[in-house]
Structure 1
Amino acid sequence: MKKLLIPLFAAALLASCEAVKVSDNSTSNHTSPGSKDDKGFQIAYKAIKADDLKKNLYVIASDEMGGRDTGSPGQKKAGEYMVNYYKSLGISFPKTLGSYYQKVPAEYMKQRGGGNLPDSENILAFIEGSEKPEEIVVISAHYDHVGTRNGVVYNGADDDGSGTVGVMEIAKAFQETKKAGKGPKRSILFLHVTGEEHGLFGSEYYSDNPVFPLANTVVDLNIDMIGRDDPENRGKDYVYVIGSEMLSSELKVINEAANKKTNNLILNYKYDDPNDPERLYYRSDHYNFAKNNIPVAFFFDGIHEDYHKPTDDVEKIDYSLLAKRTQLVFATAWEIANRENRIVVDKK
């Protein structure tokens, strides 16, 4: 997650984060997440495994990747691993893009305060929907970190190695359903963005140069740090959820219903507070979708003692909790991708 605060744009975007009471009734005609009658969901949900998340994270956040600074050889090596992973699963890229890579030019980042960063790339994998392929559900995470400083590698296992492997695991889950003939009705874009640590550059570039029209983008579920706990919640099964009711009256309800029917994590809305001094709503990649009036939910584990330090290593990840949070994001995405109507945008 980006360390420095982004200038405030529109405080009016922030809405009340008063708790919503969730009914057991589904918000759509689609079978509720977790239902035993929903074979596709069950196939995918069971495919999300802590051991697989761990296997991928031990590569993505290894010393070999050199801390994955934007445009660095180590980041590109991590990107190659991700692309080969998607190829191995039979998950392709958006046809209009022509490859898994969307180049983010150095000049673009320089104009936005990116200094002398080299060219970098967003990585995009794509599963086409069976019934509403033109409508796009985006699941995002940044795969860059802060690199190597004074010879010390900042591996960024949690920030945002955890989100990166979470997106990869969710992609595997959706692909399992597609192979079983139970794939999502809407299309799913798995978006790994670059340049987040330097200024949300990759997600901004995508929103300025979308591969799919932003008008067709239903939601962005953004995952940035979901592998640890913070001192305030030590030992709890929880996750912070930010922004889920800022633009849509339905997204928070859907997410809470998905949570109740799966792992029933504690959903913490502390950082949804418009008076929150951390201003986290503006500090990760979901914001570049939100500012284009696309509903977002940002999943986050909090500011822990190893945040942006060289001690953010794979050995400190809680893989069981990482899997539960990944399952929650998947269950939310599943409902949004398969419900009869796209979620409403009814707030400003």
Structure 2
Amino acid sequence: MKKLFIPIFSIAVLISCGTAKTSTDASYSQNSSQVKGDKAFLSAYKQIKAADLKKNLYVIASDEMEGRDTGSPGQKRAGEYMVNYYKNLGISYPKALGSYYQKVPSDFMKKRGGANLPDSENILAFIEGSEKPEEIIVVSGHYDHVGTKNGVVYNGADDDGSGTVAVMEIAKAFQAEKKAGKGPKRSILFLHVTGEEHGLFGSEYYTNNPVFPLANTVVDLNIDMIGRDDPENRGKQYVYVIGSEMLSSQLKVINEEANKRTNNLELNYKYDDPNDPQKLYYRSDHYNFAKNNIPVAFFFDGIHEDYHQPTDDVEKIDYELLAKRTQLVFTTAWELANRPERIVVDRK
């Protein structure tokens, strides 16, 4: 996750004054795909396993990746691993893009304060929907970190290795049912963005140069740090959720119902306020979708003692909790992809 040191833009336009709806909201119940009794959902859900998340994270956050700084050889190696993972699953890329890579030019980042960053790439994997392929559910996470400093590798196992492998695991779950002839009704874009740590550059580049029209983008579910706990919640089964009711009265309701149907984590809304001193609503890649009027939900575990330290290592990840949080995001994505109507955008 990006540190808070750049100016905050356009705060006023996204502040919501609406009252949160409860999880028994009638509009949700009438349009729900009723995932609880859905055999396809249950089959896919079981694909998400702590052991598989751990296997991938031990590669993504290894010393070989050299901290995955934007455009670095180590980041490119991590990207190659991810692309091969998708190829092996039979998950392709958006046809309009022509490959898994969307180049994010050095000049684009430099104009936004990206110093001397080299060219880098967003990585996009795509599963086409069976009934409403033009409508896109985005599941995102950044795969860059802060690199190597004074010869010490900052592995970024939680930030955002955890989100990276969660996106990969969610893709695997959807693809398993796609192969079984029970794929999602809407299309799913698995978006791994670069340059987040330097200024949300990869997600800004994507929303400025979308592969799919932003008007057809239903939601962005963004995952940035979900493998640890913070001091305030040590040992708890929880996750922070940020932004889910800023633009849509339905998204928070859907996510809460998804949570009740699965692991029933404590959904913590402490940071779910544009005016919160930490400004977390503006500090990860979902914000570039939100400022384009696309509903978002940001899943996060908090600021812990190893945040942006060389001690953010794979051995400190709680893999069972990582799996539960991944299952929550998957369940929310499944509902959004399969419900009869796309969620409304009814807040500004």
Structure 1 residue 273, shift from structure 2 partner: 2.5
TM-score, structure 2 length as denominator?
0.97
**1:124 counterpart residue number:** 124
Cα separation, 2, equivalents of 1:164 and 1:79:
10
Structure 1 residue 15, shift from structure 2 partner: 2.3
Q: Given residue 244 of structure 1, which amino acid in structure 2 is its aligned partner?
A: S
Matched-pair contact (CA < 8 Å) for 2:94–2:125:
yes
Partner secondary structure for residue 47 of structure 1: coil
* Structure 1 segment 322-333 matched on structure 2, within 5 A: 322-333=322-333
Partner secondary structure for residue 272 of structure 1: coil
* Structure 1 segment 37-48 matched on structure 2, within 5 A: 38-48=38-48
Cα separation, 1, equivalents of 2:323 and 2:46:
11
1:74 matches 2:74: yes
1:258-297: per-residue Cα shift (whole Å, max 9, x none)?
0011100000000012331000000000000000000000
Cα separation, 2, equivalents of 1:195 and 1:106:
10
Cα separation, 2, equivalents of 1:325 and 1:285:
18
**2:15 counterpart residue number:** 14
Partner secondary structure for residue 190 of structure 2: strand
Matched-pair contact (CA < 8 Å) for 2:230–2:303:
yes
1:166 matches 2:147: no
Cα separation, 1, equivalents of 2:149 and 2:30:
50
How high is the sequence identity, in percent, across the aligned residues? 82
Structure 1 residue 18, shift from structure 2 partner: 6.0
Q: 1:263 and 1:16, CA in 2 relative to 1: closer, same or farther beyond 3 A? A: farther
1:218-276: per-residue Cα shift (whole Å, max 9, x none)?
00000000000000000000000000000000000000000011100000000012331
Cα separation, 2, equivalents of 1:118 and 1:95:
26
Matched-pair contact (CA < 8 Å) for 2:57–2:162:
yes
Partner secondary structure for residue 146 of structure 2: coil
Matched-pair contact (CA < 8 Å) for 2:139–2:221:
yes
Cα separation, 2, equivalents of 1:344 and 1:16:
17
**2:90 counterpart residue number:** 90
**2:221 counterpart residue number:** 221
Structure 1 residue 181, shift from structure 2 partner: 1.1
1:82-122: per-residue Cα shift (whole Å, max 9, x none)?
00000000000000000000000001100110010000000
Aligned length: 346
Partner secondary structure for residue 67 of structure 1: helix
Matched-pair contact (CA < 8 Å) for 2:21–2:249:
no
The unaligned stretches of length 5 or more in structure 2 are: none
* Structure 1 segment 98-247 matched on structure 2, within 5 A: 98-247=98-247
Q: Larger deviation: 303-312 or 178-187?
A: 178-187
Matched-pair contact (CA < 8 Å) for 1:28–1:339:
no
Partner secondary structure for residue 76 of structure 1: helix
Structure 1 residue 19, shift from structure 2 partner: 5.6
Structure 1 residue 20, shift from structure 2 partner: 4.0
Cα separation, 1, equivalents of 2:110 and 2:7:
17
1:32 matches 2:70: no
1:257 matches 2:257: yes
Q: Given residue 196 of structure 1, which amino acid in structure 2 is its aligned partner?
A: E
Structure 1 residue 4, shift from structure 2 partner: 2.6
Q: Given residue 51 of structure 1, which amino acid in structure 2 is its aligned partner?
A: A
Matched-pair contact (CA < 8 Å) for 1:17–1:269:
no
Matched-pair contact (CA < 8 Å) for 1:17–1:272:
no
1:182-208: per-residue Cα shift (whole Å, max 9, x none)?
110000000000000000000000000
Cα separation, 2, equivalents of 1:228 and 1:121:
27
Partner secondary structure for residue 244 of structure 1: coil
Cα separation, 2, equivalents of 1:286 and 1:17:
20
Matched-pair contact (CA < 8 Å) for 1:16–1:273:
no
Cα separation, 1, equivalents of 2:116 and 2:219:
32
TM-score, structure 1 length as denominator?
0.97
**2:305 counterpart residue number:** 305
